[in-house]
Amino acid sequence: PTTVAKRDFLTLLDYSKEEIIQLIDEAFALEENPIQPVLKGKTLAMIFEKSSTRTRVSFETGMLHLGGHALFLSSQDLQLGRGEPVSDTAKVLSGYVDAIMIRTFGHDKIEELAKHASIPVINGLTDLFHPCQALADLKTIYRLKEKFNGVKTAYLGDGNNVAHSLMIAAAKVGMDFSLGCPVGYEPDASIVEEAKKLAEETGANIVITNDPIEAVHNADIIYTDVWASMGQESEQQQRLVAFKDFQVNDALVSHAKADYHFLHCLPAHREEEVTASIIDGEHSAVFEQAENRLHVQKALLKKLLG
C-alpha cells in the first residue's frame, strides 16, 4: 500500500483553471505525438455499471498508447454486483492496480470508492457529473474558436450530468454558458450556485432559462444531450413530451451565430433531441468531439499516474 497523497478526478470543481488548461494543452500534444510509453507496467481498472462505447474504448486504447494496460470490469461480473461493499472493492483493487475508472449511478458511490482507495479514482460518468466529457468538450471548443473568453456555449435539454460538468468547465475557463431546459428539468441548484461563484472570478456569464430561443441567441456553440439518461428509461415517454420545444433543429439554430458549431456527447437520438439535418450537417463537430475523449483522458492519465 502506498502512503503518497493521491489525486482523484471526480469533478472539475476540484481542478483549477490552470490545471484544466494544462490538461487541454497536453491533450493537443498527445494528439500530435500519441505513443508515449510513460505508464509502462501500470494498470487501470475500469468498472462499468452502465453501458459505454466512447469511455470504454478511449480509456482502454489510451492506456495502451501510454504503455500501460486497462482491465474492463463489468459490475455484473464483479463481486460488487453481488453485494461486496464498495469500500472492500476499493481496498482490494488498490493492492493490484494503479488507478480505477468507474461509471456508476449515484455520485456518493464514487466518493465512497475514492475515500477507501489509496490510488486515483477517475469519474467515467455518474448521475451527477461527466468530467471527462467536459474536458473533451473544452478541447473541441478551443480548436474551433481558439479562445474561451467571449465564446458563448448554449446547452439545450436536460439539466443532467453532462450539463453540470459543461457548466462548471465553462465557469472555470471563463466561457459564457446558457442552459435552456423545460420547467422541472433544471440543473442542480447548488451546482449552479458554485458555477456562478466561479464565473465571478473568470468573467463567465452563466444563465439558466426555460426559454430555448433565449438560450441559443447569438451562441457560438450549441450543445445537446439525450432527454432520458441511463437509468431514466422509464421516463422516456413523459420526457419526449416535456422536452419537445428544446429540440435542436433548423428553426432553433437560426437564432445562433451563422457560423455556430454543434456538439453532442453522444450517443444521439436523431429527430428527438436533435434533427439529422443538424447533427449530420456541416456545422456538426460531434465526431471530432468524440475523438477528443481519447486525447484528454490520456493527458489525465499522464497527470495522475505518470
Q: Does 181 qualify as catalytic in the annotation? A: no
Residue 92, contacted partner among ligand NVA, ligand CP, none, CB below 5-8 A by kind:
none
Residue 78, contacted partner among ligand NVA, ligand CP, none, CB below 5-8 A by kind:
none
Residue 53, contacted partner among ligand CP, ligand NVA, none, CB below 5-8 A by kind:
ligand CP
Q: Distance between CA 168 and CA 277 in Å, rounded?
A: 29
- Closest Cα partner for 212 from 239, 183, 188? 183
Interaction residues for ligand CP, span 28-67 (CB under 6 A) = 52-55
Shortest distance in whole angstroms from residue 304 CB to ligand CP: 19
β-bridge partners, 99? 44
Which one is catalytic: 127, 181, 265, 289?
265
Pick left, alpha or beta for residue 71 (phi over 0 → left; psi -120 to 50 → alpha; otherwise beta): beta
Contact flag: residue 266 with ligand CP (CB under 6 A): yes
Q: Distance between CA 169 and CA 167 in Å, rounded?
A: 5
Contact flag: residue 273 with ligand NVA (CB under 6 A): no
Q: Does 265 qualify as catalytic in the annotation? A: yes
Q: Which phi and psi (to 5°) does residue 114 adopt?
A: -65, -35
Return the H-helix or E-strand segment holding 175: none
Length of the chain: 306
Nearer to ligand CP, 52 or 249 (CB): 52
Piece of the chain touching ligand NVA by CB under 6 A; list 6-14, 160-168, 212-220, 240-248: 160-168
Interaction residues for ligand NVA, span 213-232 (CB under 6 A) = 225-226, 229-230
Q: Does 103 qualify as catalytic in the annotation? A: yes
Shortest distance in whole angstroms from residue 256 CB to ligand CP: 22
Piece of the chain touching ligand NVA by CB under 6 A; list 75-83, 158-166, 215-223, 255-263: 158-166
Q: Which phi and psi (to 5°) does residue 137 adopt?
A: -65, -45
**At 125, which amino acid appears?**
L
| Residue from 43, 126, 133, 160 binding ligand CP (CB under 6 A) | 133
In eight-state DSSP terms, residue 153 is: E
Query: Which x/- pattern over 95-134 shows residues binding ligand NVA (rule: CB under 6 A)?
Result: ------------------------------x---------
At 99, list the grid cell.
488507478
Give the SS3 label for residue 180.
strand
Q: Distance between CA 253 and CA 35 in Å, rounded?
A: 39
Q: Residues marked as binding for carbamoyl phosphate? A: 52-55, 79, 103, 130-133, 265-266, 293
Shortest distance in whole angstroms from residue 230 CB to ligand NVA: 4
Shortest distance in whole angstroms from residue 142 CB to ligand NVA: 21
For 146-206, what is the HEC assignment? CCCCCCEEEEECCCCHHHHHHHHHHHHHCCEEEEECCCCCCCCHHHHHHHHHHHHHHCCCE
Q: Are 221 and 151 in contact (CB under 8 A)?
A: yes
Binding site for ligand NVA (CB under 6 A): 125, 160-162, 225-226, 229-230, 265
Q: Which residues are catalytic?
A: 103, 130, 133, 225, 265, 293
